[in-house]
């Protein structure tokens, strides 16, 4: 078995690694470190997926190769995002603790440049940077690269995807021609080959990113559902697997924030990570994610670069990436360090060809799975709820509170109480889980409008109601109100979106006959309630007779009568 001690590393580094608990090198470390430490400096290409130990593969040799007595910058590491450079700098600085005089500095956008300028005035041998901030520092003459002997391009394919090609060209123009260049990448698109041709001389290439190796611990799955049902489908998987901990990838910053807000308002432990957040906000989100304070991190591809969190069970794709190579980066967040992980893509009926393209491109196999049915979710949630009750420690105040209830439950036996408790859980399930039982779609079918699909069954019509949060309503309250007054079972209601002055909701087209008419005569706070098909939201379709009912006072006929008389 290979160990770090026989890779050619110095004794101080071996001691640091032992103290940190590093004993056995990963394949990329085992192959790269001896080559990078060879007497003759070489240009090097390392093809390895995130999570395979790339940072140590280049960081350890850099520490042994630099001259810690020299105050000048001798090694430069470029990476695409703030998160990645921070993570890399932290790990390299840990390794360098055993080498007297060795100093590592990190520079990136979103933080005060004056602090970074001040830090660079100290003797600094290794700089780890994002391209944009490094160019700013070069222009301000806060850093010189004319003594750089080693340049590392980390996540090179992602830097190209993010448009850093010109920045890389500009930065490398400030470094000596005789430098050596080490390039690490998960994939090798044509753009990377052009960099190799332009800047590297007969590089030695090591690949531990064979198609079998890079995906052996990840199970790849996909589900087919309508775009409007993607978030409800994601919720089903989160509910059915309460121990899930992962990352949900979205295409845009706006989409990321909207989904995070949606799930957060429903009580799920989620947070968004995207480029519109300040550095402080991003750091806080990542800290909470690493300390297991949330179930799901919802992120864009760019923001998620550099995420290094152990034991992620799932990666989910709300939308497949535009660049198919990015699927490798995404799915590589799970299935790390020998642990198993699952990647689930949520696709529309017309996107099946993209699954086929990914399978061919990176030689993996996808398994088509179904979104859990509402009945399955119901059973799982009730079991979890029962387990929670059984394992709950009774609060010291419980007995005194029970006494204050003055025997209100005396007329109920144990089964009656349990049935009522279970019913409250089922009510909650219908609201949170979405009323549509089957969220799956057949492959190859196009997107369909619920109105035109009515004849095929399973279709939903969208309605408007002039009730909102200003009326003190929550989603749960409103679903109960709509169901109680229309006599339509809650299971036939689909997604509901509540705003300040109104709300929109879906109802199974088979059960919504004359829905609007059932609200004729009902009023809240003296305002007539209107329920219309969404396309008629601004119009009043139904006439309102004089014998109005008042929702707020429906249990108090005398009060409702007095209120109606005042209005006349």
Residue with tokens 């960081």: 59
186-200, 251-265, 416-430: least confidently modelled range: 416-430
Q: Is the pLDDT of residue 209 over 80?
A: no
**Residues 462, 467, 472: CA angle, nearest 5 degrees:** 135
The long-range contacts involving 514-521, CB below 8 angstroms and separated by at least 24 positions, are 515/463, 515/486, 515/488, 516/463, 516/541, 516/542, 517/542, 518/485, 518/486, 518/487, 519/465, 519/485, 519/486, 520/544, 520/545, 521/545, 521/547, 521/548, 521/549
For residue range 392-426, what is the model confidence (pLDDT) as tens digits? Answer: 888 889 888 888 887 888 888 989 888 888 887 77
Domains of the chain as residue ranges with CATH: 4-209 (3.40.50.300), 211-245+311-447 (3.40.50), 454-567 (3.30.70.330)
The more confident residue out of 148 and 508 is: 148
Q: In what order do the strands lie in the sheet with 522-524?
A: 527-528, 522-524, 549-550
pLDDT value of position 84: 87
pLDDT value of position 384: 78
pLDDT value of position 453: 41
Runs of H (alpha helix) within 140-278: 156-161, 165-172, 190-199, 211-215, 230-240, 253-265
pLDDT value of position 445: 44
Q: For residue 491, count other CB atoms closer than 10 A to its CB.
A: 18
Tell whether pTM > 0.85: no
Compute the distance between CA of residue 387 and CA of residue 236 in angstroms, rounded to an integer: 19
- pLDDT band per the 50, 70, 90 thresholds, residue 455: very low
What's the average model confidence in pLDDT over 241-245? 85
Q: Is the pLDDT of residue 558 over 70?
A: no
Compute the distance between CA of residue 188 and CA of residue 387 in angstroms, rounded to an integer: 49
Q: Is the pLDDT of residue 451 over 50?
A: no
For residue range 57-101, what is the model confidence (pLDDT) as tens digits? Answer: 999 999 999 999 999 999 999 998 888 899 899 999 999 988 888
401-410, 447-456, 541-550: least confidently modelled range: 447-456
> pLDDT > 90: what percent of the chain?
35
Query: Mean pLDDT in the chain?
Result: 83
* Residues facing residue 224 across a β-bridge: 347
């Amino acid at each position: 078995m290979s160990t770090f001690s026989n890779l050619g590393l110095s004794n101080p580094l071996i001691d640091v690694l032992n103290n940190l608990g590093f004993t056995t090198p990963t394949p990329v470390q085992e192959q790269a470190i001896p080559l990078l430490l060879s007497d003759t400096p070489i240009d090097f290409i390392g093809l390895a997926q995130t999570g395979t130990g790339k940072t140590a593969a280049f960081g350890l040799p850099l520490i042994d190769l630099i001259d810690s007595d020299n105050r000048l910058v001798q090694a430069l590491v470029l990476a695409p995002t703030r998160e990645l450079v921070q993570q890399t700098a932290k790990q390299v600085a840990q390794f360098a603790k055993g080498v007297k005089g060795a100093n590592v500095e990190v520079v990136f956008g979103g933080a005060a440049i004056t602090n970074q300028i001040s830090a660079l005035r100290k003797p600094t041998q290794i700089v780890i940077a994002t391209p944009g901030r490094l160019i700013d520092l070069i222009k301000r003459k806060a850093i010189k690269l004319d003594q750089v002997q080693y340049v590392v391009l980390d996540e090179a394919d992602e830097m190209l995807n993010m448009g850093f090609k010109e920045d890389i060209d500009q930065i490398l123009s400030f470094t000596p021609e005789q430098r050596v260049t080490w390039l690490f990448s998960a994939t090798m698109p044509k753009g990377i080959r052009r960099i190799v041709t332009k800047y590297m001389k007969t590089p030695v290439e090591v690949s531990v990113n064979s198609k079998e190796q890079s995906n052996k611990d990840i199970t790849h799955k996909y589900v087919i559902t309508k775009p409007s049902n993607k978030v409800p489908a994601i919720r089903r998987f989160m509910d059915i697997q309460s121990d899930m901990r992962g990352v949900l990838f979205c295409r845009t910053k706006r989409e990321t924030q909207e989904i995070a807000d949606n799930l957060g308002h429903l009580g799920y432990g989620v947070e968004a990570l995207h480029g519109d957040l300040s550095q402080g906000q991003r750091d806080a989100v990542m800290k909470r994610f690493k300390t297991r304070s949330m179930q799901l991190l919802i992120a864009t591809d760019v923001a998620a670069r550099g995420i290094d969190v152990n034991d992620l069970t799932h990666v989910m794709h709300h939308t497949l990436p535009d660049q198919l190579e990015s699927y490798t980066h995404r799915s590589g967040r799970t299935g790390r360090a020998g642990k198993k992980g699952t990647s689930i893509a949520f696709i529309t009926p017309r996107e099946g060809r993209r699954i086929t393209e990914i399978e061919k491109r990176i030689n993996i196999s996808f398994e088509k799975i179904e979104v859990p049915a509402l009945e399955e979710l119901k059973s799982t949630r009730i079991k979890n709820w029962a387990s929670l009750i059984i394992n709950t420690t009774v609060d010291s105040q419980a007995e005194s509170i029970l006494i204050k209830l003055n025997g209100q439950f005396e007329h109920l036996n144990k089964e009656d109480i349990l049935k009522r408790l279970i019913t409250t859980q089922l009510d909650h399930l219908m609201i949170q889980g979405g009323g549509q039982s089957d969220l799956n779609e057949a492959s190859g079918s196009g997107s369909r409008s619920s109105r035109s699909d009515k004849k095929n069954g399973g279709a939903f019509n969208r309605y408007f109601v002039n009730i909102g949060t200003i009326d003190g309503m929550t989603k749960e309250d409103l679903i109960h109100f709509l169901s109680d007054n229309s006599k339509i079972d809650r299971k036939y209601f689909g997604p509901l979106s509540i705003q300040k002055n109104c709300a929109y909701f879906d109802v199974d087209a088979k059960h919504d006959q004359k829905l609007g008419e059932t609200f004729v005569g009902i009023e809240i706070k003296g305002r007539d309630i209107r329920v219309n098909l969404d396309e008629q939201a601004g119009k009043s379709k139904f006439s309102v007779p004089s014998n109005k009912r008042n929702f707020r006072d429906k249990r108090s006929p005398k009060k409702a009568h007095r209120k109606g008389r005042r209005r006349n």
